[in-house]
């Protein structure tokens, strides 16, 4: 082993640059520090970002004028004038997060500190672009009225993927008809007039939010299995989302695997997904109940047929999780999304014993599979976080603060 091998270079701190052309990047750094620290002074921001105090001061004044930041008073630390402290304004502008799924539309208004200001989930009978755009405009208006019409600084929109992949895009329960060849971000900009619209895979956005505010907050490497209508995987590696070359990393739902107890191989999401659960519930409880209503009040502990479905779903999910562990060696795998929490808890219980993989270590600080914290709004909240901060910048700063 060479000296360089034994002492690999440390990850570089995310730092700013003073030229005017990098002002947006510098603002992102300052906003990331405010989110991480809660309250922080200008001198500390300058040390973290390696910007000059004057550059930080100019950015803070801009953010104060825009209502993004508020002054929190002064912090006395030793001699001299106490330092002015600043924080993000929890009642200021909002970021809008949208999840367009097969069967429903999730819309959230997220405050700058990550708090949920307003939310809605409404069914979508038609998921082609026209009806979706009409429903989205209506929900934005309703949530705006509910929250006093705050300024919207940007929107993140997430959808199940992948698109434009022959043999994959047109199959599976999460497929959205009529979106092939369309640019969702551009369409939404045109319809809503919101200038900043970002588009992401739903499972990746869910993993980002779980990393920022949920069960993955203290982790650098974990995987998030996202139960939308179908099944997706969000991957956080070294504190950053692993998106793949074209944003399609984590497309696990259509992997064809045999169950752990033997039997024919089938696409995993055909047996372990919200769509598969809906099919089971329609067969056992009647076809006339809406999809979202079907998920209300489910508890496998008091429902033997549902518990039997959970056991079968665990048999199909277990080999998939073993594959994920061997591929990515995560600290843990989190489960979350639209699937009701009592069902997820029962699913985790019946995954045991998990197959032997690289994660089968005795000395573990976390179980191999745990419940995520953020529930059915996870992907939309992750989408809302996208315009607030550059993901790479935020992740690098968070990584630096943990070391």
Q: What are 224-257's pLDDT values in tens digits?
A: 999 988 899 999 999 889 988 888 899 898 899 9
Band of the pLDDT at 103, cuts 50, 70, 90?
A: confident
Domain ranges within the chain, ordered by starting residue: 3-89, 94-205+382-388, 219-374
Q: Which band of pLDDT confidence, cut at 50, 70 and 90, is reported for residue 389?
A: low
CATH class for domain 3-89?
mainly alpha
The reply to whether 94-205+382-388 and 219-374 are identical in fold is yes
Is the per-residue pLDDT at 400 higher than 60? no
Report CA-CA distances (Å) from 373 to 157, 254, 289. 21, 26, 28
For the segment 25-50, the average pLDDT, to the nearest whole number, is 86
* Helix, strand or coil, per DSSP, at residue 382: helix
Question: Quick one: which of 58, 64, 120 has its CA closest to 92?
Answer: 64
**Residue 223, strand partner residues:** 235, 333
Could you give the CA distance from residue 172 to residue 192 in angstroms, rounded to a whole number?
Answer: 30
Fold of 219-374: Nucleotidyltransferase; domain 5 (3.30.420)
For residue 146, the model assigns a pLDDT of 94
Core vs surface per residue 341-359: b (16+ CB within 10 A) or e: ebbbbbbbebbeebeebeb
Beta strand residue intervals within 220-294, DSSP E: 222-227, 231-237, 240-241, 256-257, 266-267
pLDDT above 70: residue 280 = yes
pLDDT (tens digit, 9 = 90+) per residue, 131-178?
999 999 999 999 999 999 898 989 999 988 665 555 554 455 566 778
In whole angstroms, give the CA distance from residue 249 to residue 378. 18
- Answer whether residue 397 shows pLDDT above 80: no
Q: Does domain 94-205+382-388 have CATH number 3.30.420.40?
A: yes
Give pTM, 2 decimals: 0.79
């Amino acid at each position: 082993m060479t000296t360089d091998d034994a002492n690999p270079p440390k990850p570089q701190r995310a730092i700013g640059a003073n030229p005017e052309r990098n002002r947006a990047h510098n603002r992102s750094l300052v906003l990331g520090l405010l989110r991480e620290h809660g309250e922080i002074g200008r001198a500390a921001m300058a040390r973290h970002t390696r910007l000059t105090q004057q550059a930080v001061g100019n950015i803070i004044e801009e953010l104060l004028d825009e209502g993004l930041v508020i002054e929190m008073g002064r912090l006395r630390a030793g001699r001299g004038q106490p330092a002015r402290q600043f924080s993000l304004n929890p009642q200021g502008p909002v970021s809008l997060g949208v999840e367009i799924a097969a069967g429903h539309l999730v819309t959230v208004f997220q405050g700058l500190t990550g708090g949920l200001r307003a939310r809605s989930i409404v069914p979508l009978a038609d998921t082609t672009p026209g009806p979706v755009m009409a429903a989205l405009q209506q929900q934005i208006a309703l949530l705006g009225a509910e929250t006093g019409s705050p300024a919207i600084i940007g929107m993140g929109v997430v959808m199940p993927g992948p698109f434009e992949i022959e043999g994959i895009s047109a199959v599976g329960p999460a497929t959205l008809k009529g979106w092939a060849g369309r640019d969702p971000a551009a369409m939404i900009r045109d319809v809503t007039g919101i200038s900043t619209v970002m588009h992401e895979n739903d499972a990746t956005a869910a993993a980002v939010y779980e990393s920022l505010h949920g069960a993955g907050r203290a982790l650098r490497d974990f995987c998030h299995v996202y139960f939308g209508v179908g099944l997706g995987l969000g991957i956080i590696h070294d504190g950053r989302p692993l998106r793949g070359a074209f944003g399609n990393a984590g497309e696990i739902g259509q992997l064809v695997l045999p169950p752990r107890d033997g039997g024919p191989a089938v696409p995993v999401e055909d047996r372990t997904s919200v769509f598969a659960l809906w099919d089971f519930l329609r067969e056992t409880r009647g076809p006339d109940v809406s999809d979202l209503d079907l998920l209300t009040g489910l508890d496998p502990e008091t429902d033997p047929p549902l518990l039997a479905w959970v056991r079968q779903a665990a048999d199909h999910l277990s080999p998939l999780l073993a594959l994920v562990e061997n591929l990515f060696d995560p600290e843990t795998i989190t489960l979350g999304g639209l699937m009701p929490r009592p069902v997820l808890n029962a699913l985790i219980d019946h995954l045991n014993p998990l197959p032997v993989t690289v994660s089968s270590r005795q000395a573990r600080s976390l179980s191999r599979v745990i419940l995520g914290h953020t529930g059915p709004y996870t992907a939309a909240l992750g989408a809302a976080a996208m315009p607030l901060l550059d993901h790479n910048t935020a992740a690098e700063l968070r990584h630096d603060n943990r070391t």
